[in-house]
Structure 1
Amino acid sequence: MPADLAVIGLAHSGLPLAQAATASGISTIGYDPDKAAVAEISAGRPPKDAPLSASEVRRILARGFRADTDPAVLGRVRTTVICAPTALGADRALDMSAVRSAARTLATRLRPRATVIVESSVYPGTTEDVVRPLLEEGSGLRAGRDFHLACSPSRIDPGSRTHGYGNIPKVIGGLTPACTEAAAAFYARLTDKVVRARGPREAETTKLLETNYRQINIALMNEMSVFCHDLGIDLWDVVRCAETKPFGFQSFRPGPGVGGPGVPLDPNYLPYHSRSLGYPLRMVELAQEVNERMPRYVSQRAAALLNEHGKSARGARILLLGVTYKPDLSSQEGAPAREVATRLLELGAQLSYHDPFVPQWRVAGRPVPRADSLYEAAAAADLTMLLQNHRTYDLQGLGAKAQLLLDTRGASPAGAAHRL
């Protein structure tokens, strides 16, 4: 059955797009080569690290959405959005294999006058230098003449009660003005505002700037947290005061690390491109270095806090609260909790965890016991550590029950916990 929209890649950004499209009455199909993910969605369950709940998945299915592993479904749509996942590898280069595979798969089924949009997090130049030639070679069609090609980087705020798909402006950069307008006409059905960029590179670099801006500012706050702790200064009071400045300051928070699908990118790491600036983005490199130090620092703070109260980290019972990357979501993508736990295990600690969104959790290949009774577990633990502040956590009550409470998110009332 023909559909108006095909979404390639049903993970971080693909399912929210399908949710917004079906809610707007757009006939939508999803394609993903991951059979396990498609099976989960078809059964009304979100796949691993997807930002939708089971009830939301069931709702989009009820509205006619279908997920499939057969690429033949891509040949019967007017608009295709590539939401294939990308991740930062050990060499700090994005793994673009899923994006390339999506383009090749679509190419042999691409129809004239169709619109193709790239939402995946990619390097500047990817839409033109990677996706375009693959589509043209496989289809025999020419982008900008026979079909429309544009980039509109994903912008979602999973779990937010204020920022939904419809009220987040969508940045769009097309290969030609006509490509931009075709993509804008599609997104105008989903969101209140579209912002036209000069072209795909400007749209791609917008995502790069937004991601690096977040990483750099969190790194600054993480360094400030260490600085303030060493000098006996209450960082959280400093932040509270700084937030009153009505101009020139935007508040960020420190934490045990930076999670989520947004990774700091240096566009000099272009595995497909021969041109480089010849120098790195030093701020981005430094931000990543600072943020990657935080799990070690947090584990050291835990050991020091135990020591101050006459206990050793070796053999200590430590309860970890919240192991997801963001409050009130089940996704653990990039969450620092696993590395914090690994380092605590190396110190000889006995770990347990509690998270209302994670029924099972493994660290270093071993299952970590889940606390069924939160308050009893906090009272029994030598140290309770808040790594993610889910709304269900009563930090005032936990502070009263726990022998020691280390709050890495600054969410507890003053005096209720030791804060990062």
Structure 2
Amino acid sequence: MGYVGLPLALQFVRSGTRVLGIDVDESKVDRLNGGQSYIKHISSEDIGEARRDQRFSATTDFSEIADVAAVIICVPTPLSKNRDPDISYVLDTGRAMAPHLRKGTLIALESTTYPGTTDENLRAVLEEGSGMVAGVDFHLAYSPEREDPGNPASKVGEVPKLVGGLTPACLELALAVYGRAVKNLVPVSSCRVAEAAKLLENIFRSVNIALVNELKIVYAAMGIDIWEVIAAAKTKPFGFMPFYPGPGLGGHCIPIDPFYLTWKAHEFECATRFIELAGEINTSMPGYVVERIAEALNDAKKPLNGSRILVLGLAYKPNVDDERESPSYRIMELLKRKGGEVFYHDPFVPVIGQTREHSEWAGTPSVEWNRETISGFDLVVISTAHTCINYAELAEWAACIVDTRNVMSEFQSSRGRIWKA
């Protein structure tokens, strides 16, 4: 019941389907059953409306799967410390639910993963734990999530949805189930095609973002503004699609998913040079931002060591509270390593929670937004451009600004010295 599962559950409820939400986090289950949301862009009113007439309920009890007709798995697929795929959440979920499956149930996986996960790995644990055969006793499908948190124009029921089945009968049932909640379904020939398509979508973005990030560095060295270049190039009505640079990649998709394919490609002795190079470039961007911060401080005759630095925006994208894989964390870590006193402000993340990778920041609160606080920093680096931030106030209050998102272009003549990174 996270950023993928909860919106999908609510969409099914709105479409007239009774939904049971399962999560291993008991606190989430309690909040949902109490009509409360824990995701910024989903309101408690939405949860309360779904709870009416018992159309939606939540539980930690996997045995209740015995009473449902379809199970949709929406769990994380992170990378290990060695950047290898970690599908343990998928397999552990499969093992937990397998003893409770009944004949005829549909199981659909939505988590982004490498081709073969559904019809090999997940199928194996489901068959072993249930004693049944996929495609004969129960149905198996893959339908990748296409969530765009923070984008009010992106609605779960209206985004075209890929669906691939283990067998034609599996596909037919999966289309019938998803058809209750999603308007436009796109059937494909297999689970593997759907898995591969989802990876292509995210690899396409990763490679193109890496390209503009690299060009940003090159053009900056030439005294050319990459943002002006992109604005000029996108006036071409064909053959060009604008992508924009930033401080690095964040979220649970773009920084992670391409490496699922590079790992799987090794099994077939195939090289994935474009994907790996893009990953290297995007991963290096927080380091480039820190270099620009050091240059900006040096220009003000201040060392990075001992300077008070505010990172503006912890979430990985604007207007959401999701800070998974956010490049802001890496920027903060690099600054702290170099002796900076590091703080952050993010209205969507009032306090940093416990995370797997950045436990040392847990419990750190967002600083207040006022003239006295902001003017007390030697430098403010804009990492995430939330639309609710008053950038005119920032231009007036901040002594020095490093802008990675091009939101300060109209304030270039302001009192604060503004650098682009």
Give me the TM-score of the superposition, normalised by structure 2.
0.91
C-alpha displacement of 1:339? 1.1
- 1:327-366 deviations in Å (ceiling 9; x for gaps): 1111111111111011111222222221111111376625
- 1:46-81 deviations in Å (ceiling 9; x for gaps): 45x786455544443446322211111111001111
CA 1:268–1:419 in 2, change beyond 3 Å: closer, same or farther?
A: closer
Q: Which residue of 11, 33, 50 corresponds with 1:60?
A: 50
Counterpart-to-counterpart distance in 2, 1:402 and 1:46: 35
Q: Which residue of 396, 401, 405 corresponds with 1:405?
A: 401
- Secondary structure at 1:29's aligned position in 2? strand
- The residue aligned with 2:375 is 379
- The residue aligned with 2:389 is 393
- The residue aligned with 1:247 is 238
Counterpart mapping for 1:362-373 below 5 A: 365-366=360-361, 368=364, 370-373=366-369
- Structure 2 stretches lacking a partner, 5+ long: 413-417
CA 1:294–1:260 in 2, change beyond 3 Å: closer, same or farther?
A: same
Counterpart-to-counterpart distance in 2, 1:390 and 1:268: 33
Matched, 1:187 2:178: yes
Counterpart-to-counterpart distance in 1, 2:71 and 2:305: 54
Q: Between 183-192 and 68-77, report the one with greater CA deviation.
A: 183-192
Matched, 1:22 2:22: no
C-alpha displacement of 1:15? 1.0
Counterpart-to-counterpart distance in 2, 1:308 and 1:78: 64
Matched, 1:267 2:257: no
- 1:253-309 deviations in Å (ceiling 9; x for gaps): 111110011022243524xx9x81213311111111111111111111111111112
**Does the 8 Å CA contact 2:74/2:111 hold for their aligned counterparts?**
yes
Matched, 1:171 2:162: yes
- Secondary structure at 2:261's aligned position in 1? coil
- The residue aligned with 2:68 is 77
C-alpha displacement of 1:380? 2.3
Counterpart-to-counterpart distance in 2, 1:70 and 1:176: 29
Identity of aligned residues (%): 37
**Does the 8 Å CA contact 2:349/2:366 hold for their aligned counterparts?**
no
Letter in 1 for 2:299: E
- The residue aligned with 2:201 is 210
C-alpha displacement of 1:170? 0.2
Q: Between 236-245 and 277-286, report the one with greater CA deviation.
A: 277-286
**Does the 8 Å CA contact 2:308/2:340 hold for their aligned counterparts?**
yes
Counterpart-to-counterpart distance in 2, 1:121 and 1:370: 31
Counterpart mapping for 1:14-413 below 5 A: 14-46=5-37, 52-62=42-52, 64-262=55-253, 263=256, 264-270=258-264, 276-361=267-352, 365-366=360-361, 368=364, 370-413=366-409
Letter in 1 for 2:390: D
CA 1:399–1:128 in 2, change beyond 3 Å: closer, same or farther?
A: same
CA RMSD of superposed structures (Å): 2.1
Counterpart-to-counterpart distance in 2, 1:69 and 1:90: 29
C-alpha displacement of 1:101? 1.3
Letter in 1 for 2:347: P
Counterpart-to-counterpart distance in 2, 1:265 and 1:310: 42
- Secondary structure at 2:317's aligned position in 1? coil
C-alpha displacement of 1:228? 1.4
- The residue aligned with 1:3 is none
C-alpha displacement of 1:45? 4.5
Letter in 2 for 1:246: P
Letter in 2 for 1:365: E
Q: Between 35-44 and 222-231, report the one with greater CA deviation.
A: 35-44
**Does the 8 Å CA contact 2:111/2:145 hold for their aligned counterparts?**
yes
Q: Between 354-363 and 143-152, report the one with greater CA deviation.
A: 354-363
Give me the TM-score of the superposition, normalised by structure 1.
0.91
- The residue aligned with 2:415 is none
Counterpart-to-counterpart distance in 1, 2:34 and 2:301: 51
Aligned residues: 407
- Secondary structure at 1:138's aligned position in 2? helix
Counterpart-to-counterpart distance in 2, 1:139 and 1:333: 34
Counterpart-to-counterpart distance in 2, 1:42 and 1:280: 48
C-alpha displacement of 1:374? 3.5
- 1:151-176 deviations in Å (ceiling 9; x for gaps): 00111101111111011100000111
C-alpha displacement of 1:414? 3.7
**Does the 8 Å CA contact 1:208/1:265 hold for their aligned counterparts?**
no
**Does the 8 Å CA contact 2:73/2:90 hold for their aligned counterparts?**
yes
- Secondary structure at 1:25's aligned position in 2? coil
- Structure 1 stretches lacking a partner, 5+ long: 1-9
C-alpha displacement of 1:91? 1.9
**Does the 8 Å CA contact 2:210/2:282 hold for their aligned counterparts?**
yes
CA 1:386–1:372 in 2, change beyond 3 Å: closer, same or farther?
A: same
**Does the 8 Å CA contact 2:350/2:365 hold for their aligned counterparts?**
no
- Secondary structure at 2:283's aligned position in 1? helix
Q: Which contiguous aligned blocks of 4+ residues in structure 1 show a shift greater than 6 angstroms?
A: none
- The residue aligned with 1:7 is none
